[in-house]
Amino acid sequence: MPVYTFRNKTTGEIKVVTDPGRALITGLWKHVGRFKGPVLRGLAGRAPYFHNGSAASLRDVVNFYDVRFGLGLSDAQKGDLVAFLMSL
């Protein structure tokens, strides 16, 4: 990933980030490296998931992250997480 170095012309403060974040939209120094997380409200009604629609269900999403990050979730834990996400 590219690394960006920003210097505040007023204070001289330097920030080194891999993504400028919200600052690309607002232009504000305080937004460098900050992000707005996705809204989870109504998540169950927005299938398919991921930018390319590769996860048809919330169970597919949970399985993806379980494998990707080696979480080792049990079937019961996956079921609980899916139930929670569906309640949002």
Q: Would you list the domain boundaries of the chain?
A: 1-37, 43-87
pLDDT score, position 85: 96
> What b/e readout covers 2-40, taking b as 16+ CB neighbours within 10 angstroms?
eeeeeeeeeeeeeeebeeeebbeeeeeeebbbeeeeeee
The predicted pLDDT at position 64 comes to: 97
Model-level pTM greater than 0.75?
no
Across 81-88, average pLDDT:
96
CB 23 within 8 A of CB 29: yes
Q: What is the pLDDT of residues 14-57, one digit of tens each?
A: 999 999 999 999 999 999 999 888 889 999 999 999 989 999 99
Flag whether pLDDT at 2 surpasses 80. yes
Percent of the chain past pLDDT 90, that is, above it, reads: 91
Q: For tokens 């900050």, name the residue.
A: 34
